Structure 1
Amino acid sequence: MSDPREAGMVGRRTDGKVVRRPLSPHLQVYDMMQMTSFVSIMHRITGTAWAGGTLLLAWWLMAAATGEVAFARVQWFMSSWLGLLMLFGLTLAAWYHTLAGLRHLVWDAGFGFDIPTVYKTGRAVLIGTGVLTVLTWLLAIVFWG
């Protein structure tokens, strides 16, 4: 008896020859201490966090449109330790996702695929994220604090 999943693993090349497609790897095969895996997976996670952060923005904008009482509640939450932690994490996610996205744009242009460059740009994304996040918060504290 044939496994019904076999149908999804068999394909044909343009010349008609039958080929077996590989199974997609799962997270267990990735070494999270390897720069390439870590940067790639974190890019996906920060993209999700950044998308989720738009809910905070929507809440803030709806409260601003609703009135002073609703806006004061949002402002209170955003200035609480949990709100500030969420905003800091959102800032971190935004910078990381932006820098990793720029790295992907360079790759899309056909540059930076050799292993030494991949590791250099991965480290640049990590260091740049830390520096830009701290700089963003320092500027926020100085100008709006």
Structure 2
Amino acid sequence: MTDVDLKGKRPISPHVQHGAYKVTMSMAVSISHRLSGSAAYAGTLFLAYWLLALATGPEAFETAQMLWGSILGRLVMFGFTWALVHHLLGGLRHFIWDIPAMMEKPQIEFLYLATVIGGVVLTVLIWIIGYSVM
């Protein structure tokens, strides 16, 4: 066999720049699950800051409240809420697969969509309920 023959039969590189990979739902949901876990971790640090400010005294708490009450602060908190909910739903999806259940392709696709859509819907619902209680 010559080198020319080998090059013709070699697999295509899976690198994204070569165009061999097409972004699939499973790939996107897997990446978003990892990102939401990191965002939830970072958001927990912000929550710890808020609790420390509460414990420190009225001036520190007022500063924290001003930060979180701003438009940017609320946007960060909305993203934190989404990260928590999305990561929770992704964990439930993995728990269902650990049973094992819903392992057929249509069911798997349903769980992917339920994770993505459910994360957004539940986040919006949590914020609607939060604002209605205030």
Q: TM-score, normalised by structure 2?
A: 0.83
- Asked whether 1:69 is paired with 2:56, we answer no
- Are the aligned partners of 1:30 and 1:37 in contact in 2 as well (CA < 8 Å)? no
Change (3 A) 1:30 1:66: farther
Runs of 5+ unmatched residues, structure 1: 1-24
Q: Distance in 2 between matches of 1:26 and 1:74?
A: 46
The AA in structure 1 aligned to 2:69 is S
Aligned equivalent of 2:103: 113
TM-superposition CA deviations, 1:20-69 (whole Å, max 9, x none) = xxxxx98736533x111111111000000001111111101110111000
- Asked whether 1:47 is paired with 2:37, we answer yes
- Asked whether 1:31 is paired with 2:29, we answer no
Q: Distance in 2 between matches of 1:51 and 1:62?
A: 17
Query: Per the alignment, in what secondary structure is the counterpart of residue 115 of structure 2?
Result: helix
Change (3 A) 1:121 1:137: same
Shift of 1:114: 1.7
Change (3 A) 1:27 1:90: farther
Q: Per chain length, whose mean CA-contact separation is higher, i.e. which structure has more relative contact order (CA < 8 Å, sep 6+)?
A: 2
Q: Distance in 2 between matches of 1:135 and 1:86?
A: 17
Q: Distance in 2 between matches of 1:50 and 1:26?
A: 30
Runs of 5+ unmatched residues, structure 2: 1-12
Number of matched residues?
Answer: 119
RMSD: 1.7
Q: Distance in 1 between matches of 2:15 and 2:115?
A: 22
Q: TM-score, normalised by structure 1?
A: 0.77
Q: Report the identity percentage.
A: 41
Structure number with the higher helix fraction is 2
Shift of 1:113: 2.1
Q: Distance in 2 between matches of 1:101 and 1:141?
A: 27
Q: Distance in 2 between matches of 1:55 and 1:72?
A: 18
Q: Following superposition of structure 1 onto structure 2, how do residues 1-145 of structure 1 map, counting pairs within 5 Å?
A: 28=16, 31-32=22-23, 34-144=24-134
Structure number with the higher strand fraction is 1
